[in-house]
Each structure stands twice: as C-alpha cells, then as structure tokens.
Structure 1
Amino acid sequence: MKQVTSVFWGTLAIALFAVVWGSVAPGNLEAITGKIQTYLSVHFGWYYLLVVTGFVLFCVYMIFSPYGKIKLGKKDDKPDYNYATWFAMLFSAGMGIGLVFWGAAEPIYFYANNAPTEDTGTAAALNESMRFVYFHWGVHAWGIYAIVALVLAYFKFRRGAPVLISATLKPIFGDKMDGPWGKFIDIIAVFATIVGVATTLGFGASQINGGLTFLTPIEDSFGVQLAIIAVVTVLFMISAYTGLSKGIKYLSNTNMFLALALVVIMFIVGPTLFILNMFTDTIGAYLQQLPSMSFRMAPNSEENRTWINNWTVFYWAWWIAWSPFVGIFIARVSKGRTIREFLSGVLLVPSVVGFLWFSTFGSSAIQVQQNGETDLASLATEQTMFGMFDNYPLGLIMSIIAMTLIGTFFITSADSATFVLGMQTTNGSLTPPTMVKFVWGIIQSSMAAVLLYSGGLQALQNALISAAFPFSFIMILMVVSLYKALRADKAMLEEEESGKEEKTSA
C-alpha cells in the first residue's frame, strides 16, 4: 500500500460513504439519486446528445486527418497483442455483460412494449426497434470509449506521462494538474469508474439470478444476487492476482469463444433467413438515419422525450461512466498502433460485432413474440433471453452457455476494473499492488450489492447518470488538450522531415 496516493484515500472515503448510506438508508439513496437522475435527464438531455455526437465526429476527423499517421508510442514500438487478442480484450472489457443482458430484451421491449415513435407490434416498430438498438450500442458508444483511450494512450506512450486523467490535461493547465485540482479530477474519474462498473456487475448478478429462476426452483431475490456477487468476487480476485497477461488475457479469449459459440448456435437453430434479412434491412436504416437519431430530442412530444431520457440519455451516461475504466484498459493494450489504426479498430470492429449480436438474438426473440409461442415482453428483463432459448432447439445448452458467459464477462469486467482503479490510485503505475486491486474489488462488489439492495435496476440507472455528468466535462477538456498536443507534435515531425530533406539534397 506504499504506492497509493491521496486519490486512493479520497475516492475510498467517498465510496465507503455511499456503501454505508445505501446499507443504512436504501430508500433515501434511491430517492436522492432518482431526483438527480430526473433533473439531469430533463434539463441536460440535449447536452448528452450533442457532446456524444461531437466525440464521434472528432474520432472520424482524426481517422482521415494527417494526425492519423501518428503512432501511439515511439517510432519503433510494436503492438503487444495481435489483432484477435486485442479485439477480444477491448470487446470483453467494453460491454460484455450488457450484450448478454440486453441482447434479446431491448429489441423485444421496443417492439412489443415501447417503440420510440411507431405503434408497438407493427412492421415499422420492428425496424425501428433494431435501428435504435444499433444506435445505442454502436459507434456512439465506442466513440466515447475511443476518446478516453486515445488521449491516455497518446500521452502515456508518446509523451511518457503517467496513466492518469489529470496528466492528459497538462497542455491546458500545466503544473496545476500536479496539485489539488489534478487530484480532484482523478477522484471524479475513479468514482465514475466505480459506479459504472458496479452498475454492470449489478446487471450481471440480476441476469444470472434470472436465468437460475427460469431454469430451476431458485427464487429471484436480493439474497441470491448477493451470493452470486460474493462467489464472482472471489473468482475475479483470483484472476486479478495472476495479472494482465494471464488472467485477463485468458478470460478475454474464453469470453470470445463462448460468445461466438452462443451466437453461432442461435443463428443456426433460430430463424436464419429472418436474421439475415433483418440485419440487412435494419443496418441500412441505421446508416441512413444516424444523423437524425443523433440529434433527436422530440421537444414537442412529452412521450417521445421521456423515451429519449429513459433510453438514449441513460446509455450515453452509462458509456461515459464506463469510459475511464474502458478507456484506460484499451489504452494499456494498444501501444504501438497508429491513431488511424487504433480509432478504426475501436470504432468499427466492436460495433459490427454488436450489430450482428443484436440482429441474431433480437430477431430470434421477435420471431417468438410474433408466433405467439411465449409472451417474452411480459417476462422480467433479466429472463427474456432464457425465455427465448426455451422456444428453440438446444435451448438448455444455450442457457447454460449464456450463464457461463455472463459469469466470465462478470469476472473479466471486475478484474479489468480493479487493474484500472489500481493504476489510477497509484500515480499511474502499470503494475499496481495486488492489495490495492483487492481493495477496489471489494468496493466494486459492495457498491453493486448496495445499489441492488436500495432499488434494483432502477437504482443502478439513477447512479449511472448522476456519476457520468461531471466526467463528461473532463472528457471535453481531454479532447481540447489532445488536439493542442497533436498540433505541436505534427509541427515537430514536419520540421524533422524538412531537416532530413535538406540534408539529402545537400
């Protein structure tokens, strides 16, 4: 514990306060976070839409700009991981549990219960439901991650700065980032990470419980969810002890294998032609209407505006809250790639995989709903996928694979988060002490349990939007800082190239 900084103690105090508050007065915690969430959604929904779309546009600009040739590292640095392992690691850390949790539930909910604009249960609602699922899980989500990851990777591997959010702002604020203001910024980032990861762990525990309830006599209760969190905590602590190149690497590859097996089985035993037709039709609609969806606020429709607050704003807040963790992790495993290579990979590959995932499970679920075999829309969100599996061959096998996949994603996310939190609270150390990682592992699990105890999934959503808001402003400053540093870097490279040409001509 000798390496820990004041960021560790400051964030730990805030996190412990939140855990005790949720344990002693769970109703009060839910009420307060609910009021904050409602206020931010109603009054700053426009801000979330503008800032996230701005991040995506900045990423696209960087891909096609001359800055894209700049390497995230020194001239001779090579990537530490091949493409397959790199994609597996960033994908597992980025949104693994969420894909399994919402893979069937979100499309079926939009189609049957709450379509964004169309009447539920119609062909138009079917197309629209998939289009908005792609919107929530596509390039906008990965654009948020890419911004944080790009800035951190650039300053770490190009400039030799510590892997700290505050260190990336030095081009703007200078040495002030070494003092109290820098510590304050890092505390915001660490706390946002804790809440973001705890929310996802809560979703994972809920879905494992939902699967067990659907398949066995085990009841759906907080006690069962607490036991699941406890078991998984022990498992990811063991993984955290083995380090990045063993535990997380092997788990990430296992995740990709299980995810691939699950989606291939579903594709084969499910409505294969319907899945292919739906993917082709809805991906076209997504690409065509991406600009209008990106700025859709529906100011003249209270119903549509509420939908945007409950879904789109929630997702943008979720990705922002996760971005310190995912961004730092992706940065850590992306040394040696050019900015163009990095952004193209982070934006496009996971997005396409996500589109194929939702097309397969969403279309299969909607087909079950249309055939009237099972009213999936009436099931609890965490049970929707298992209800869908029950209507197809090999349903039990797919359910077992899904629960195993949720567990391995759970462990990978928590393990990766303990590593990142350890880095952030030991002055950017790339090898944080095991004890520090253990402390953050316990805090994450405790926060997930408290949020579930204080209000279930709604409390998780409330906490996310509340924690993400302040960090979004820090992300804007990170973009400005990166651009300022890149301009100086580009000017220096041009001078070097000009000097070489003069020597050659002489």
Structure 2
Amino acid sequence: MKKSVTRVFYISLVIAILFIAWGVIPEETWPNWNLNTVTNNVQSFLVSKFGWFYLLSATAFLIFAIYLIVSKYGNIVLGKEDDEPEYNYLTWFGMLFSAGMGIGLIFWGAAEPISHFNAPPYDVNGDGEAGRVAMRYSFFHWGLHPWGIYAILALALAYFQFRKEYPGLISSTLKPLFGDRMDGSSGTIVNTIAVFATVFGVATSLGLGAQQISSGLGFVNENLSNTVTLQLIIIGVVTILFMLSALTGLDRGIKYLSTTNIVLMFLLLLFMLFAGPTNFIMNYFTTTLGSYVQNLPFMSFRTTPFSPDDTGWLENWTIFYWAWWIAWAPFVGMFIARVSRGRTVREFIIGVLLVPTIFGALWFSAFGGSAISLEYHHGMDIQTVINNVGEEGALFTVLENYPLQLVTTLLTILLISTFFITSADSATFVLGMQTTGGDLNPDLKVKLAWGLVQSATAAVLLWQGGLGALQTASIIAAFPFVFILIMIIFSIVKAFREEAKQHDLKRRKYK
C-alpha cells in the first residue's frame, strides 16, 4: 500500500471488522447484546430524545445554503480564479444523481407516495387531500433539504481543497476554527466519524438496491423468491462488478456509468410519463410543486408535542430520511466536491439544490402518481402488495399495469444494478481518499478493502433485520456527524469573511 495510508484507515478498518463480526453472531447466542437489539435500543433513544434536533439541523443547513446564493460570497470560485469546470453540465448532473440518491429514488419512487396516501402523516379530509399530502411529503423528503445538506459539506470540501490547497479531508474544513489541531488526534477522530457515517449510509443504499433487484427478479421469474439468501448473492455479484469498475478509475468507470444511469433514468421516466396517465401526472406535479414551496416552513419544523404517542410516522419517515442524508453527506459531499472544481459558489449551490430537486419531483410524480392513480381511479390495492412483499415490490407492481412490462422491469433491474455499482464505486473512492490523507488517487488495495467492508456491512444488516436494520444503522451513524456539519458552517463563514477582507485590501491597494 502507499505510504499515504493514515491512522484513520487502520482504526476505522479494525472497528468495521469488529462490527461485522458482531453482526454475524446469531441472536440466540447473545440475546441481550446482539447487534440488532443494541442498535434498536440506541436508535429508539435517539429518535425519541433528539428527533427535534435532526429537524432543526437539516433546516438550518438548507437556510445557510440559500443564504450563500444571494450573499456577496456567491462569486467565489471553488478553485483558483482561472480554473474551469472539469466536467460539462450533463456529466456533472449525472454524477450528482449517481452519487446522491439514485437507488433510493427507484426504491421509493412508487412506494413512498402510495404509503403516505394510505397512511398520511396526520388526519386529512378524504382521499383527494391524502393524495396531495402524500406527494408533497415525498417532494419534501427528497427535495431541497437533502441537497442542502450535501451542498454545505461539498462546498466546504471543494473550497478548502481547491482554493486553499488543503488535503481533501473532512478535518481540513475545520482548520479555520481549530487550526493545526486538525492535523493530529482531533482530526483523526473527525475523519473516523466521517468514515463510519459513510459506511453505514452507503450500506443502507446497497441493502435497498439488493432488496429491489431481488424483488424485480421475482417479478421476471416466479421461481425466484425475494429471500435474504438471494439478496446476499446479489450483493456478492455486484461487489465483484463494482470492484472491476474501481480498477478503471474516476474518469472512466464512474464517469461512463454515471452517464449511462442518467440516460436510463430519463428513458424510464419518459416511458412512464407517456404510457401512464400523462395529464394526471403533470397536473399532479404542477400543483404539488406549488404546495411544496408554500408548505415548506410548516413541514420543516413539524413535530407532535401534544401527541407524544403519535410520533411513529415522523420517526419512521422524516427523521429517518434526515439521518440517512446526513450519514450520506461525507460520501456524497466528497464526491460532489471532487467533480465540481472551477464552479462558483453561486453556480454550485443553485445546481446542487435545484436540478436534482426538480428531477426528483418529476420522478415521484410519474411513478408515485401512477401508483396513486391506479388505486384512486382504478381500484387497485398496491398497498397490500407492499404489506406482503415489501416496499421494493411497489415499482414493479406499477410497471405490470402498463405496456412492455418485461422490458421495463428488466430496464429497472439494470438501472438499479448500475446505480449500485456507481454508488459503491464512488464510496470506495471517497473512503480511500478519506483514509489516505486526502489522496485524489487512493491506492487500489485501499479501495478494494473498503469495497469489501461496505458489502459485508450491507449483508450483515440485511441478515440481521432487513429494511429496519438498515434504517437503524443510518440514524445512529448520522448523529455524531451532525455536530461536525454544524461546526463546518461556522468554519465556512469565518473563511469567507477572511477572504472578503483580503479582497477589500487588494482593491484599496490597487487604487
């Protein structure tokens, strides 16, 4: 391995191996201290005592990102003044989707709106209002808030790495606050926390992908049942594929697969827009977009202080999502930063916030809208399918009701597989970079080691408890990283103010 491998690599790897070994121990062997029991207890404590903290933090990150767009700091270049963007817009957006939430959109695209339609977050007046609330909350969970979280960390990483020439580490973003202490044990702690948030956040996504590929294969071939065994086999096969992709590097494997992902997503989206109830979908999209913007403050701060026993929906959906996005932030943030050199702060944040949010809204309107239309207008019961086979079966059930069902199902399985590969490949790059002192081309052995850790973690969580275990791991991993993100905001403000002062001095001297 390269000499650049740091203490973070060895410490994180040892703890990760111990965690995987803990998860392999059967529940009956250690009933009170097995992985599933302990993590469930920790997760219950966090969501019941700190749910409000997740809500306030996620909203604060979004508000700060919007402030930067309109501030005087918007013209700062993420790099040297003469740096040009490394990738064109299409490739850049493709990488954002691939890293940001590709598998999740496919997994939840039909399942989440139909779930909210049948079990709204609060009492509503009739099915029509339930449909409006269902799509609005789907926009909310996949819109501005998650991309605001990503934008803050990615901005800090890109600014300090490309403009200030600091190592591309999470700890480097805190140097304006803590100085050289970030080069020692304090920095090691910060980077280790970031590594674990990344491992669990990505493992959650890989687990969801394995569940849905398994479900899709069951729709194609009835002899294949959606079992944990099949899901583990899928993880093994895709692990081999994304490790082969890792051999080709960022500019070949991930770049080409990311472009492929965005093309396949557009094809599937266009199919559903025209094969499905087109007018209903577009009317649904338009009215929900306005409703989302109008109700954004209410949804951002909504809790249930007068109904403490009615927190299940909030904990299972909004708080889980905010924790998942925070857990994903180190991975997505570092990857977005890596591919965003040369863009201004304003251009960067507008692109990261708006483009994925609008595309995600269209996606949910097309697939979630089609699912709700099948229930509302045609009397189908897709919720029963979800109850019987899981959320992963919702999308395939929707596709069964439209032409070319076999083709679209196979296309969806292919799309999930390529997203699986690019997410895992991107994560191995980020984890390798984070554990080799910010090396932009981490050693292949380091990347392969983290690839195995990610896959093993996803497999252990699926084996221990399926979707519930994946959600639990994300919420726990995200909690310590929230505090790091809050400190990063203060670090960005301090660094930008100092840069503004320097520019003022230069202008005065020139005069």
TM-score normalised according to structure 2 size: 0.96
Task: Check if 1:67 corresponds to 2:73.
Answer: yes
Task: Check if 1:37 corresponds to 2:38.
Answer: no
- In the alignment, is the contact (CA less than 8 A) between 1:111 and 1:121 conserved in 2? no
Task: Check if 1:440 corresponds to 2:445.
Answer: no
In structure 2, the partner of 1:334 is 340
In structure 1, the partner of 2:412 is 402
Q: Determine helix, strand or coil for the equivalent of 2:91.
A: helix
1:181-201, Cα deviation, whole Å (9 max, x unpaired): 110110000011000001100
In structure 2, the partner of 1:10 is 11
Within the candidate set 233, 239, 261, 1:233 is matched to: 239
In 2, the alpha carbon distance for the partners of 1:346 and 1:304 equals: 34
Q: Determine helix, strand or coil for the equivalent of 1:391.
A: coil
User: Structure 1 stretches of 5 or more lacking a match?
Assistant: none
Within the candidate set 34, 50, 54, 2:56 is matched to: 50
- In the alignment, is the contact (CA less than 8 A) between 1:374 and 1:387 conserved in 2? no
In structure 2, the partner of 1:352 is 358
Task: Check if 1:282 corresponds to 2:292.
Answer: no
1:70-469 aligned within 5 A: 70-112=76-118, 114-119=119-124, 122-216=127-221, 217-302=223-308, 304-372=310-378, 374-379=380-385, 380-469=390-479
One-letter code aligned to 1:18? F
1:262-285, Cα deviation, whole Å (9 max, x unpaired): 000011110000001111111111
In 2, the alpha carbon distance for the partners of 1:143 and 1:64 equals: 15
User: CA shift at 1:77, angstroms?
Assistant: 0.5
In 2, the alpha carbon distance for the partners of 1:142 and 1:303 equals: 31
Q: Determine helix, strand or coil for the equivalent of 2:407.
A: helix
1:98-156, Cα deviation, whole Å (9 max, x unpaired): 000000000001102x1111349711110000000000000001000001100000000
Q: Determine helix, strand or coil for the equivalent of 1:225.
A: helix
In structure 1, the partner of 2:494 is 484
In 2, the alpha carbon distance for the partners of 1:118 and 1:493 equals: 54
One-letter code aligned to 2:209? G
- In the alignment, is the contact (CA less than 8 A) between 1:111 and 1:120 conserved in 2? no
Please, which moves more after superposition, 393-402 or 299-308?
299-308
1:296-333, Cα deviation, whole Å (9 max, x unpaired): 01211245422111110000000000000000000000
In 2, the alpha carbon distance for the partners of 1:182 and 1:30 equals: 30
In structure 1, the partner of 2:20 is 19
User: Structure 2 stretches of 5 or more lacking a match?
Assistant: none
One-letter code aligned to 2:347? E
User: CA shift at 1:384, angstroms?
Assistant: 0.6
Please, which moves more after superposition, 23-32 or 267-276?
23-32
In 2, the alpha carbon distance for the partners of 1:119 and 1:301 equals: 16
Q: Determine helix, strand or coil for the equivalent of 1:163.
A: coil
- In the alignment, is the contact (CA less than 8 A) between 1:299 and 1:305 conserved in 2? no
User: CA shift at 1:395, angstroms?
Assistant: 1.9
User: CA shift at 1:486, angstroms?
Assistant: 0.7
One-letter code aligned to 1:77? D
- In the alignment, is the contact (CA less than 8 A) between 1:130 and 1:359 conserved in 2? yes
User: CA shift at 1:336, angstroms?
Assistant: 0.4
User: CA shift at 1:373, angstroms?
Assistant: 5.3
In 1, the alpha carbon distance for the partners of 2:407 and 2:268 equals: 9
In 2, the alpha carbon distance for the partners of 1:496 and 1:142 equals: 35
In 1, the alpha carbon distance for the partners of 2:308 and 2:377 equals: 33
- In the alignment, is the contact (CA less than 8 A) between 1:118 and 1:124 conserved in 2? no
Q: Determine helix, strand or coil for the equivalent of 1:431.
A: coil
Q: Determine helix, strand or coil for the equivalent of 1:118.
A: coil
Q: Determine helix, strand or coil for the equivalent of 2:86.
A: coil
Please, which moves more after superposition, 160-169 or 491-500?
491-500
TM-score normalised according to structure 1 size: 0.97
Please, which moves more after superposition, 226-235 or 365-374?
365-374
User: CA shift at 1:441, angstroms?
Assistant: 0.3
User: CA shift at 1:397, angstroms?
Assistant: 1.5
User: CA shift at 1:213, angstroms?
Assistant: 1.6
User: CA shift at 1:499, angstroms?
Assistant: 2.1
In 2, the alpha carbon distance for the partners of 1:336 and 1:443 equals: 33
Identical columns (%): 55
1:350-388, Cα deviation, whole Å (9 max, x unpaired): 000000000010110111112445421012211010011
In 1, the alpha carbon distance for the partners of 2:238 and 2:423 equals: 11
One-letter code aligned to 1:175? D
In 2, the alpha carbon distance for the partners of 1:168 and 1:355 equals: 32
User: CA shift at 1:405, angstroms?
Assistant: 0.4
Length, aligned pairs only: 500
Q: 1:65 to 1:419 in 2, by over 3 A?
A: same
Runs of 4+ in 1 over 4 A off after TM superposition: none
Tell me how large the CA RMSD over aligned residues is.
1.1
In 2, the alpha carbon distance for the partners of 1:296 and 1:334 equals: 34
Q: Determine helix, strand or coil for the equivalent of 1:198.
A: helix
In 2, the alpha carbon distance for the partners of 1:263 and 1:393 equals: 14
In 2, the alpha carbon distance for the partners of 1:269 and 1:373 equals: 19
- In the alignment, is the contact (CA less than 8 A) between 1:169 and 1:177 conserved in 2? yes
In 1, the alpha carbon distance for the partners of 2:146 and 2:126 equals: 27
